[in-house]
Amino acid sequence: MWRTHNCGELRLEKVGEQVKLSGWVQRIRDKGSLLWIDLRDRYGTTQLFIEGTSASAELLEIVRSLGREYVIQVSGQVIERISKNPKMATGDIEIKAEEIKILNTSKVPPFTIEDDTDGGEELRMKYRYIDLRRNPVKNSIILRHQMMQYTREYLAGHDFLEIETPVLIKSTPEGARDFVVPSRMNPGEFYALPQSPQTFKQLLMVSGFDKYFQLVKCFRDEDLRADRQPEFTQIDCEMSFVTRDEILAAFEGLTKHVFRKARGVELEDFPLMAYDEAMRRYGSDKPDTRFGMEFIELNELAQGKGFNVFDQSELVAGICAPGCADYTRKQIDGLTEWVKRPQIGAKGLVYVKCNEDGTFKSSVDKFYTQEDLKNWADKAAARPGDLLLVLSGTIAETRKALNELRLYMGNELGLRSNDVFKPLWIVDFPLLEWDEETSRYHAMHHPFTSPREEDMHLLSTDPGKVKANAYDLVINGVEIGGGSIRIFDRQIQQSMFDALGFTKEEAEKQFGFLLNAFEYGAPPHGGIAFGFDRLCSMIGGTESIRDFIAFPKNNSGRDMMIDTPSQISTEQLEELSIFVKKPTE
Ligand code: ASP
């Protein structure tokens, strides 16, 4: 037997018992006549105690040869500690070691296995198997496991069937590039890895499995950002004979269940907000509603007073930063520089200080009277001591920049706590978005999303106006998931492909299988997918999704540990009928 107990479970009531533990050497303290070892495994840490005067020479020799991360087995008696450690679950006891066996040695690890390690990100990625021994990372992986179980528990409990869909498929358009896999048996032909199981889950509805889910790997070849991975996991679902509101209720239920079980948080009911309203009030389709500072549109009050910049703008809008009227010149210059950065893109920043004495001081005093500024302040419901920050430009630019500024000020003022959760559903997205570059419409969600019933007639006449029966779940400004009611009629699907500029042949070639399926009794259906890694990081309370993935990739899509992507041999390439031009001298 390797062990009778694990390193996290022994308590006072076991005092006197003979036990055997196995684990990793976390730390050794050698005080000459007294030695202690912290022995660690997945479950915790237990202190081993060796008394120099009574221990055998053999035992002492072994103990003195140990190094960090050696794997050892210890036999001994559980004793009560004289100086207890209340911070440790096993802190009341220790093991008086009688025998220690070295099961394996270890090189000195490249970084310390502590909660706050000295290892840099890249180094830890390279030695991920060691990094996974550290408590914060280990606990994140355990949390992920638990969340998977809670998800399955809830969905299976609501009659959803977990059905796997293939990984070697044909491209599905979710708006990113596909990863492709060459087929040896079909020279010159390729599979694509799924960006999502979208078409398959719809086919499962045609088959009659009216509630499907899957915890599924999806692959998107996108430029990576800190919170993106080329392969990621979704909680993917689809339902038949279902209305939008039934889907929202089911997944609000799932979200509440997982938050309750995994984080001990009771979420309030999720409000609904239309996309247009979200854009107007927050300039974003994923508003962070943990704090107010909503947009105030000032066109009516600010235009026609001789200030050219505002007069020429499509939108003049501001936010009211509470209690910031005492910002110094330097602070305001700092904010101005910040909004003018290319990533934010504002041309300048107008401020209005609402002084405690009821007067106003602004950067545009030349153009506006005290009364004008008071009108702005009233519209913003600003109080003495507040600061209005105003941007202008096209509607799109102004909203984008003001959204960034609002989030920035939210951080500055400490209004974005990780312990507060504000979920909401964003609904009624536009169906299509115009792409200047290619001069055609793209599906905002994907081409299988149904237009709203009442907008159906606009599809051929004014497609840009059509709203989709689509929804996103947003929590704290993060898009956790999204989905839609689907088209289930061949003709409508066809007109959608038309609106997207597909020729009949292209549509047939790429999606013929789905169009055909729609001719064999496709039920009305809809669904949703949640980004599971992101949900984990939100519940886990950290920004990075990498911590919640056992073996993540870095920002350039590399696995630093196995060192891939990597080259393959000429033989392999030839077998796959891939001919790579050799670089010429
Ligand atoms: N397939 C969609 C996605 O991955 C989700 C859905 O429409 O169900 O975003």
What are 549-558's pLDDT values in tens digits?
999 999 889 9
Q: Has residue 225 got a pLDDT over 80?
A: no
Residue 341 domain boundaries:
291-416
| Any ligand 1 atom below 6 A from CB of 484 | yes
Burial of 122 (0-12, 13-18, 19+ CB in 10 A): exposed
Q: Read off the tokens for 204.
A: 């499962």
> Do residues 264 and 207 both lie within one domain?
yes
Please report whether residue 281 resides in a domain: no
| Any ligand 1 atom below 6 A from CB of 528 | yes
Q: Please check whether residue 169 is in contact with residue 193, taking contact to mean a CB–CB distance below 8 angstroms.
A: yes
Phi, psi of 296 (to 5 degrees): -115, 120
The Cα 122–Cα 114 span in angstroms is 17
Q: Please give the distance, rounded to the nearest whole angstrom, from the Cα atom of residue 529 to the centre of ligand 1.
A: 5
| Any ligand 1 atom below 6 A from CB of 401 | no
Domain-terminating residue out of 416, 433, 459 = 416
Please report whether residue 578 resides in a domain: no
Query: What's the mean pLDDT when you consider all of the chain?
Result: 95
Please report whether residue 585 resides in a domain: no
Q: Quick one: pLDDT band at residue 349, thresholds 50, 70, 90?
A: very high
Q: Please give the distance, rounded to the nearest whole angstrom, from the Cα atom of residue 237 to the centre of ligand 1.
A: 9
Q: Has residue 436 got a pLDDT over 90?
A: no
> Do residues 401 and 430 both lie within one domain?
no
> Do residues 365 and 454 both lie within one domain?
no
Q: What confidence score (pLDDT) does residue 369 get?
A: 97
| Any ligand 1 atom below 6 A from CB of 196 | yes
> Do residues 143 and 268 both lie within one domain?
yes
Q: What confidence score (pLDDT) does residue 585 get?
A: 55
Phi, psi of 533 (to 5 degrees): -65, -40
DSSP assignment of 495-508 equals: HHHHHTT--HHHHH
The Cα 109–Cα 448 span in angstroms is 51
- Nearest-atom number in ligand 1 for the CA of 448 is 7
Instruction: Give the mutation target among 212, 236, 480, 514 for probing the ligand 1 site: most ligand atoms within 8 A of CB.
Output: 236
> Do residues 402 and 475 both lie within one domain?
no
Q: Please give the distance, rounded to the nearest whole angstrom, from the Cα atom of residue 174 to the centre of ligand 1.
A: 8
pLDDT digits (tens, 9 = 90+) for 301-335: 999 999 999 999 999 999 999 999 999 999 999 99
Q: Please give the distance, rounded to the nearest whole angstrom, from the Cα atom of residue 483 to the centre of ligand 1.
A: 5
Q: Please give the distance, rounded to the nearest whole angstrom, from the Cα atom of residue 438 to the centre of ligand 1.
A: 24
| Any ligand 1 atom below 6 A from CB of 527 | yes
Q: Has residue 173 got a pLDDT over 80?
A: no
pLDDT digits (tens, 9 = 90+) for 395-411: 999 999 999 999 999 99
Please report whether residue 282 resides in a domain: no
| Any ligand 1 atom below 6 A from CB of 470 | no
Please report whether residue 332 resides in a domain: yes
Please report whether residue 573 resides in a domain: no
Q: Read off the tokens for 331.
A: 């602070």
Q: Please give the distance, rounded to the nearest whole angstrom, from the Cα atom of residue 195 to the centre of ligand 1.
A: 9
> Do residues 501 and 391 both lie within one domain?
no
Q: What confidence score (pLDDT) does residue 288 get?
A: 98
> Do residues 316 and 386 both lie within one domain?
yes
Q: CATH number, domain at 253?
A: 3.30.930.10
Q: CATH number, domain at 37?
A: 2.40.50.140
Q: Please give the distance, rounded to the nearest whole angstrom, from the Cα atom of residue 480 to the centre of ligand 1.
A: 11
- Nearest-atom number in ligand 1 for the CA of 449 is 7
Q: Kindly state the average pLDDT of the residues 194-219.
A: 97
Phi, psi of 201 (to 5 degrees): -70, -30
Q: What confidence score (pLDDT) does residue 569 get?
A: 93
> Do residues 342 and 324 both lie within one domain?
yes
Q: What confidence score (pLDDT) does residue 439 get?
A: 86
Give the pairing of strands 44-51 and 93-104: parallel
The Cα 546–Cα 483 span in angstroms is 24
Q: Kindly state the average pLDDT of the residues 165-187.
A: 89
Residue at token pair 């007073």: 305
Q: Please check whether residue 426 is in contact with residue 472, taking contact to mean a CB–CB distance below 8 angstroms.
A: yes
> Do residues 406 and 297 both lie within one domain?
yes
DSSP assignment of 161-215 equals: EE----SSB----SSSBPPEEE-SSSTT-EEE--S-SHHHHHHHHHHT--EEEEE
Half-sphere exposure of 126 (CA within 13 A, CB side): 8
Q: Read off the tokens for 272.
A: 């609904």
Please report whether residue 437 resides in a domain: yes
Q: Has residue 374 got a pLDDT over 80?
A: yes
> Do residues 233 and 157 both lie within one domain?
yes
Half-sphere exposure of 184 (CA within 13 A, CB side): 5
> Do residues 254 and 307 both lie within one domain?
no
Question: If you take atom 3 of ligand 1, which residue's CA is the nearest one?
Answer: 529
Q: Kindly state the average pLDDT of the residues 126-144.
A: 97
**Euclidean distance between the first and the last CA atom of the chain, given in angstroms as a whole number:** 63
Q: What confidence score (pLDDT) does residue 172 get?
A: 66
Q: Quick one: pLDDT band at residue 178, thresholds 50, 70, 90?
A: very high
- Nearest-atom number in ligand 1 for the CA of 234 is 4
> Do residues 49 and 83 both lie within one domain?
yes
CB within 8 A of 206, min separation 6: which ones? 517, 518, 520, 521, 522, 523
For the chain, what is the domain count?
A: 3
| Any ligand 1 atom below 6 A from CB of 522 | no
Q: What confidence score (pLDDT) does residue 425 get?
A: 98
| Any ligand 1 atom below 6 A from CB of 540 | no
Q: What confidence score (pLDDT) does residue 526 get?
A: 98
Q: Please check whether residue 87 is in contact with residue 81, taking contact to mean a CB–CB distance below 8 angstroms.
A: no
Higher pLDDT, 32 or 572: 572
Please report whether residue 456 resides in a domain: yes
Q: Please give the distance, rounded to the nearest whole angstrom, from the Cα atom of residue 140 to the centre of ligand 1.
A: 25
Q: Has residue 224 got a pLDDT over 90?
A: no
What percentage of the chain exceeds 70 in pLDDT?
A: 99
Domain-terminating residue out of 387, 416, 445 = 416
Q: CATH number, domain at 342?
A: 3.30.1360.30
Q: Quick one: pLDDT band at residue 174, thresholds 50, 70, 90?
A: low
Q: What confidence score (pLDDT) does residue 435 get?
A: 86
Q: What confidence score (pLDDT) does residue 580 get?
A: 75
Domain-terminating residue out of 357, 385, 416 = 416
- Nearest-atom number in ligand 1 for the CA of 236 is 8
The Cα 274–Cα 290 span in angstroms is 18
